[in-house]
A and B are shown apart, each in its own frame.
Chain A
Amino acid sequence: MTGENATMTPVLQVVGVRKEYGDNVALDGVDFEVHAQEVVAVLGPSGSGKSTLVRCIDQLESIEGGAMYLDGELLGYERHRDGIRPLADADVKRQQRRMGMVFQQFNLFPHWTVLRNITEAPIKVHGVPAAEAQARAMELLARVGLADKAQAHPRQLSGGQQQRVAIARAVATNPRILLFDEPTSSLDPELVDEVLQVMKDLAEAGMTMIVVTHELDFARHVADRCVFMAEGQVIEDRPSTEFFDAPRSSRLRTFLTRTATPAREGGA
């Protein structure tokens, strides 16, 4: 890949990260790593801090303690004299450009066409020539099965279609890691599978991904590892099969029995 170290250094390291909203502790010393081409599912009851975690990684929220590294580079801070200080705005943007984010509410730009939604960042932020960016966008749209929707506006699409466009948009800048914040939680049940299928294709193509989700089948069959969070802490972090077949903590066992739904045909 990019060098010998690429296989050694984790793509993402999260070390003792704390996040507070006033008196409410959202993240209470979270540690975990994601290696290249790994797919990590983050599960947990609502309010456990899993969405906050990916928002902090993408620097949409500040952290109150700990540190995060992308390819070994400290996120959000720089060394200054004896310690560290927050990065300049432009440097934060530079780091954000190396990650992709898919939101629960899609957050497509409603005043632009699907094509411009996908090409804006490559052209305006990464300096890719327009023709090249458009060709790549059409290729991605074909991959998510929406080649005929390039000129449509987001409001003309179903939720599932919008989320597939949002994934294409996040992939268009070739991110080192793709973060999913409950990508199927606001979809009608019959639209969930088309989005999960696109995510599964990405995983198989070798994309490094963190997926906050409630879809247990996806976590079990597509993710390499599953992380269980509760009250802002990582309770369990293990390979997917062990995670589901031999949960260690009683909390995870309770969570799995409570959340277990009749298995969807053929996994995700």
Chain B
Amino acid sequence: MTMTDLTTQPVRNPSADRSIDAARARRRIHPWRVVVGILLAFVTVQIAVFLVTNERFEWPVVAEYLFNPSVLMGLGMSIVLTVVGMILGSLLGTALAAGQLAEFAPLRWACIVFVGVFRGVPPLVQLIFWYNLAYLLPRLAVGVPFGPELFSWPTNDLITPLTAAIIGLSLHEAAYMAEIIRAGILSVDSGQRDAAAAMGFSRWHSFTRVVLPQAMRVIIPPTGSQVIALLKGTSLVSVIAMGDLLHSVQVIYNRTYEVVPMLIVAVIWYLVLVTALTLVQRRVERHFSRGMSRAAVARRVVERTEAVA
């Protein structure tokens, strides 16, 4: 007790001599950090031992199938679905966001209802629904409404697992992107639209060249998270027999019954992709925030040169 009292006493030095120097201070020990550190080390060792000693992980099987051609095909399909879903979703989402902010009320309501429906229906339910579209519409036709048909096809020829997956994922993604892009558009100062209108820019010119580029600062960060969510969401298409990563390992374990090792193969690939995407996202975000600070730096440079001049 007396020891503690001595060590916690504040140092008083009215004459301010130079015998005390912060550069030579000792390290302070934080007892709770020690406790938490030991606990974390213990848990880490436990997990490592579990992973290594539990025979049922069958690590040799994981290694054997990690680069199996059909697994890599599935991986490629998951990536393709993510890219296509993201592109179609962003394009449709931009149109929906603009529509939700339109002056013409019926268009606005239509877009709000569309976004509400596709944001509200679980993507898994949507995928199964699109896959079974033929039950509702046996034939799909292009023609004059309530008039003659020009072309028509059996629905089952058009709705394959691939098209059902692309439609389902894109519509789901579009609804989410619409909300993100709408928030971005609303973040742009209304004076920007006033200035564009005052100069007689067309609505399209004003939206694509003035409003959207400035909305990007707000749109980009949540879009990164959305890409990652969509990549994981592609695993849902395995239920309609679409050959994605999860489906490709399922096909193998249905034959070999090595369920856990095959799932580990899928987990490894998902983690690799998500980690890579996270790194890209960090970099993109840093790029955008650097845009801000670079302007600040440049302003300082300008002020300094002006002061010199």
Using CB atoms and an 8 Å cutoff, list the residues of chain A in contact with chain B.
Answer: 58-60, 89-90, 93-94, 96-97, 99-101, 103, 105, 107-111, 120-121, 124-125, 152-153, 155-157, 169-170, 173
For the complex, count residues of B whose C-beta is within 8 A of A: 21
A-B contact pairs, 30 of them (CB 8 A): A58-B198, A59-B197, A89-B203, A90-B202, A93-B201, A94-B200, A96-B198, A96-B199, A96-B200, A97-B200, A99-B198, A100-B198, A105-B191, A107-B189, A107-B192, A107-B194, A108-B195, A110-B214, A120-B199, A120-B209, A121-B199, A125-B200, A125-B201, A152-B298, A155-B299, A156-B295, A156-B302, A169-B199, A173-B199, A173-B200
| A121 with B302: CB separation less than 8 A | no
Binding site for A on B (CB under 8 A): 189, 191-192, 194-195, 197-203, 205, 209-210, 213-214, 295, 298-299, 302
**Distance of A107 Cα from B213 Cα, bound (Å):** 15
Q: Which of B192, B198, B298 has the most CB of A within 10 A?
A: B198
Question: What 9 pairs between A and B have smallest CB-CB spacing?
Answer: A97-B200, A107-B195, A101-B198, A107-B191, A121-B199, A96-B200, A93-B200, A155-B295, A156-B299
- Check A109/B205 contact, CB under 8 A, given A60-B194, A125-B199: no
Question: In the assembled complex, which residues on chain A have CB atoms less than 8 Å from the CB atom of B299?
Answer: 155-156
Complex contacts, A107 vs chain B, CB 8 Å: 189, 191-192, 194-195
Q: Is the interface of B mostly helix, strand, loop or mixed?
A: helix
B198, B205, B214: the one within 8 Å of A60 (CB):
B198
B202 partner residues in chain A, CB cutoff 8 A: 90, 93
Q: Which residue of A lies closest to B301 (CB)?
A: A156
Let me know if B295 and A103 touch, CB within 8 A: no
Contact of A156 among B210, B214, B298 (CB under 8 A): B298
Q: How far, in whole Å, are A157 and B295 apart by their CA atoms in the complex?
A: 10
Q: Give Cα A121 to B196, complex, Å.
A: 9
The reply to whether A111 and B214 contact each other, CB–CB distance below 8 Å, is yes
Verify B194–A96 contact, CB threshold 8 A. no
Whose C-beta in chain A lies nearest to the C-beta of B217? A111
B213 adjacent to A111 (CB under 8 Å)? yes
Most buried by A among B200, B203, B205, B209: B200
Min Cβ gap A188→B in Å is 14
A121 touching B214 by the CB < 8 A rule?
no
Given A111-B214, A155-B299: A121 and B191 within 8 A (CB)?
no
**CB nearest neighbor in B for A149:** B302
Residues of chain A with a CB closer than 8 A to B209's CB: 120
| A153 close to B295 (CB less than 8 A) | yes
